[in-house]
Amino acid sequence: MKKISANLVVESIQKVIGKGPHQLHEPLFFGKETNYLKNTIKQNLVSSTGEYVNKFEKKIKEYTKAKFAIAVVNGTQAIYISLKACGVKKDEEVLVPALTFVGTVNAISYLDAKPHFVDSQIKNFGINCLKLENYLNKISKLRGNKCINKLTGKVIKAIIPVHVFGHPCDIQNIIKIAKKFNLIVVEDAAEALGSFYKKKHLGTFGDVGCISFNGNKIITTGGGGALLTNSKVIGKKIETIYKNSRIDHKWEYKFNQLGFNYRMPSINAQLGIAQMKNINKFLSSKRKLYQKYYLIFKKFKDLRIMREPINTKSNYWLQTIVLEKSSLKNGNKGSVVVSGL
């Protein structure tokens, strides 16, 4: 077994992808993206009106098997709208894993709600369910149908499980804990298009799930995101909020609450439609890259390439190295995660 050194790790990476510089998941365009975008411009269908957004939503719905898929301008706003549609209010607390992207926390803060961090675990980078349940048993109590933080006196309203780097977290147990403590579940599946837990697509377990189509994701719409839900009630609330909260009418403009213009533009949707035609190729390429790294790094001591957890299928969005604690200096405990390969 090889001992770890920074130079040896870099050399091993270069054996797979060559010498850099390299970007984190460069978008791939080898389908009909150019033709689709030209047609959209010729038809003057570049705003959020027209058929293309509906077509893209249908593609996402069919792929994920969600009952409702709603395309928006980015993944962060998808989380924000989800929390708002589920009734999260000012000063209420939302549980969020310590290991996540800042956009998850920003979405909570936009509502003037409070991010409440909980422990993550190394086996899948998601929320540690055992610690979560023990923690909630200790610091919370149920008052009617509300979960109350005994330390702050505030309502703990929701939890956001995050499928980090496309690897499925222990979502089934998180759902059970959420039901026990009467918490709303908004899945952050921003990085997880094409990832499954027990053959069910991520983002379809909770009350709402959120996907990102940013330029570095499995497929891209340039900028964009989607909300997934199986609830007709929540789906209707989301559609109202992200379309400026306009009440449906043939000619009158009436609004019943503060709304937002977050619907995805058609030009972005057309790019997404073209990208979805090649999603299986993108996923296959990611898996092949993982296999190459696995063969390289299995020779190392105290270092491993992250592989999909049991009973799951990961999209391997970002390849990730885990340095075990025995390889760390100064007696540090735990593991170090290095992602972006």
pLDDT 10s digits, 189-235: 999 999 999 999 999 999 999 999 999 999 999 999 999 999 999 99
Name which residue leads in pLDDT, 51 or 5: 51
Name which residue leads in pLDDT, 339 or 305: 305
Side chain identity, residue 6: A
According to the model, what pLDDT value does residue 239 have?
Answer: 83
Residues 145 and 192 in one domain: yes
Count of the separate structural domains present in the chain = 2
Sequence-distant (6+) residues with CB within 8 A of 125 are: 99, 164, 165, 167, 169, 306, 320, 337
Residues 203 and 320 in one domain: no
Question: Phi first, then psi: what are they for 145, rounded to 5°?
Answer: -105, 15
From 276, 302, 324, the end of a domain falls on 276
d(CA 111, CA 88): 8
Residues 249 and 321 in one domain: no
Residues 270 and 312 in one domain: no
* CATH code of residue 208: 3.40.640.10
0.85 exceeded by pTM: yes
According to the model, what pLDDT value does residue 74 have?
Answer: 95
Residues 317 and 243 in one domain: no
Tell me, yes or no, whether 156 lies in a domain. Answer: yes
Residues 268 and 286 in one domain: no
Name which residue leads in pLDDT, 25 or 285: 285
d(CA 223, CA 74): 6
The parent domain of residue 300 ranges over: 6-25+279-339
d(CA 42, CA 107): 36
* 82-109 residue pLDDT tens: 999 999 999 999 999 999 999 999 999 9
Tell me, yes or no, whether 178 lies in a domain. Answer: yes
Residues 150 and 271 in one domain: yes
Tell me, yes or no, whether 196 lies in a domain. Answer: yes
Tell me, yes or no, whether 1 lies in a domain. Answer: no
